Copies of this chain bind each other. A is one copy, B any other.
Amino acid sequence: MKVIRNPQKLNRILKRISCERKSIGFVPTMGALHLGHLSLIKKAAKDNEIVVVSIFVNPTQFGPKEDLKKYPRPLKKDIELCRKSGVDFVFLPDNKTIYPYGYSTFVKVEGLSDLLCGVSRPGHFRGVSTIVAKLLNIVGPDIIYLGQKDAQQAIIIKRMVRDLNFPVKIKIMPTVRLADGLALSSRNAYLTGEQRKEAAVLSRSLSLARSLVQAGACDSSRILGRMKEMIRKKRQARIDYIEIVDLENLEKIKKIDRNCLIALAVKFGNTRLIDNTIINHA
Name A residues whose Cβ lies closer than 8 Å to a Cβ of B: 7-8, 11, 15, 18-19, 100, 102-112, 129-130, 133-134, 137-138, 140, 159-160, 162-167, 248-249
| Identical copies of this chain, number | 2
Nearest chain-B residue to A20 (Cβ)?
Answer: B19
Known: A8-B167, A11-B165, A130-B164. 4 other contacts (CB 8 A): A103-B163, A104-B110, A137-B166, A138-B165
B104 to A111, Cβ gap below 8 A? yes
30 A-B pairs (CB sep. < 8 Å)? A8-B167, A15-B167, A19-B19, A100-B162, A100-B163, A102-B248, A102-B249, A103-B163, A104-B109, A104-B111, A104-B112, A104-B163, A105-B108, A105-B109, A105-B110, A105-B160, A105-B164, A106-B107, A106-B108, A106-B110, A107-B107, A107-B133, A108-B108, A130-B164, A133-B133, A133-B164, A134-B165, A137-B166, A137-B167, A140-B167
A134 to B104, Cβ gap below 8 A? no
Q: In the complex, what residues of B have CB within 8 A of residue A19's CB?
A: 18-19
Q: In the complex, what residues of B have CB within 8 A of residue A102's CB?
A: 159, 248-249
Nearest chain-B residue to A139 (Cβ)?
Answer: B165
Nearest chain-B residue to A135 (Cβ)?
Answer: B165
Nearest chain-B residue to A137 (Cβ)?
Answer: B165
In the bound complex, how far is the Cα of B139 from the Cα of A166, in angstroms? 10
B164 to A107, Cβ gap below 8 A? yes
Indicate the member of A7, A104, A137, A249 with the most B CB atoms within 10 Å: A104
Nearest chain-B residue to A108 (Cβ)?
Answer: B106
- Known contacts: A19-B19, A102-B159, A102-B248. The answer to whether A164 contacts B134 by CB under 8 A is yes
Q: In the complex, what residues of B have CB within 8 A of residue A15's CB?
A: 167
In the bound complex, how far is the Cα of B103 from the Cα of A112, in angstroms? 11
Q: In the complex, what residues of B have CB within 8 A of residue A164's CB?
A: 105, 107, 130, 133-134, 137
In the bound complex, how far is the Cα of B104 from the Cα of A163, in angstroms? 7
Q: In the complex, what residues of B have CB within 8 A of residue A103's CB?
A: 163
Nearest chain-B residue to A126 (Cβ)?
Answer: B108
- Known contacts: A138-B165, A164-B133, A165-B137. The answer to whether A105 contacts B159 by CB under 8 A is yes
Indicate the member of A7, A102, A110 with the most B CB atoms within 10 Å: A102
In the bound complex, how far is the Cα of B15 from the Cα of A19, in angstroms? 9
Nearest chain-B residue to A7 (Cβ)?
Answer: B165
Nearest chain-B residue to A11 (Cβ)?
Answer: B167
> From residue A246, how far is it (CB to closest CB) to chain B in Å?
11
Q: In the complex, what residues of B have CB within 8 A of residue A160's CB?
A: 105
